[in-house]
Amino acid sequence: MDTMGRHVIAELWGCPEDKLNDLHSIERIMVNAALEAGAEVREVAFHKFAPQGVSGVVIISESHLTIHSFPEHGYASIDVYTCGDRIDPNVACDYITKALGATRLESIQVPRGVGPIHVQDVKVRAL
Amino acid sequence: MDTMGRHVIAELWGCPEDKLNDLHSIERIMVNAALEAGAEVREVAFHKFAPQGVSGVVIISESHLTIHSFPEHGYASIDVYTCGDRIDPNVACDYITKALGATRLESIQVPRGVGPIHVQDVKVRAL
């Protein structure tokens, strides 16, 4: 398998607090984001923190999606990393951004497995 | 909880093929890397691909560690993301780099949860 991959690092702000504190909803959103992008889901692990916040990962055949939510700050930290060029990580990221009701997205894309690391596609979007 | 975090993205090259194809050894290395850095392990999920390669994640109270290995290329893609300033993600990254016998490390550090995304600490090291 080729090592080439694309890793989107996204910061979502302005998400409603209740959405960021709902483990089952977040798990469903992350799995659906993977499927929406055409990825194959392999493992799913989510954890709810006390008093608040959710962390989770979806391992896909093509790498992974992760989330860490901070409900009290309306903030969710998202990573979508896809190996190969069949799956576009931005499709999953856009799905998550919309589903979590973010009002602001900052993201960068980092090519993986292709030599010196550099940053592409810096985006800041009000939504 | 404060949103501030540090995310180390590392590309390991020159790792022995057998190390990159051993699910149980990689899982142990990733969990030990988290513990070595002083993190609290919450969830662990690893997957072995056919014919080769391992993907896995360790969710810690302070965020996550992930790995994707490509044994035939001697390449492992590593992420160590730690929230707060108590845990240094570089400690875990250095532990993994050594344990997997990499001969070359490329890494960047991306601050998370603190506003516009930028890249810090670009490193390229022959080992």
- Going by pLDDT thresholds of 50, 70 and 90, the confidence category of residue A46 is very high
If you ran DSSP here, which 8-state letter would residue B33 be given? Answer: H
Among B30-39, B61-70, B85-94, B107-116, whose mean pLDDT is lowest?
B107-116
**Cβ separation of A47 and B63 shorter than 8 Å?**
no
CA distance B27 to chain A (A): 14
8 Å CB contact of B63 and A77? yes
Catalytic site includes residue B24: no
pLDDT for the residue A62: 94
The verdict on a CB contact (< 8 Å) between A9 and B47 is no
Q: Is the pLDDT of residue B1 over 80?
A: no
Q: Which residues of A touch B15 (CB under 8 A)?
A: none
At residue B70, the pLDDT reads: 97
Predicted pLDDT of residue B80: 98
pLDDT tens-digit map of A49-85? 999 999 999 999 999 999 999 999 999 999 999 999 9
Asked whether residue B118 carries a pLDDT value surpassing 90, the answer given is no
pTM (2 decimals)?
0.95
Q: Catalytic residue at B107?
A: no
Preferred mutation among A23, A54, A59, A80 to probe B, highest tally of B CBs within 10 A: A59
**Residue A126: what pLDDT?**
85
CATH 3.10.129.10 fits B1-14+36-75+96-113, yes or no: no
- CA–CA distance, B54 with B71 (Å, rounded to integer): 9
Three-state secondary structure readout of chain A? CCCCEEEEEEEEECCCCCHHHCHHHHHHHHHHHHHHCCCCEEEEEEEECCCCCEEEEEEECCEEEEEEEEHHHCEEEEEEEEECCCCCHHHHHHHHHHHCCCCEEEEEEEEECCCCCCCEEEEEEEC
Q: Label residue B115 by pLDDT band (50, 70, 90).
A: confident
Strands A75-83 and A5-13 turn out to be: antiparallel
Nearest CB among B7, B57, B83 relative to A59 is that of B57
Closest residue of B to A108, CA-based? Answer: B117
B119/A77 Cβ within 8 A: no
Residue A122 — very low, low, confident or very high, per pLDDT cuts 50/70/90? confident
Dihedral angle of Cα B111, B114, B117, B121, to the nearest 10 degrees: -30
Mean pLDDT of B79-96: 96
Separation between Cα atoms, residue B92 and residue B80, nearest integer Å:
7
**ipTM of the shown complex:** 0.93
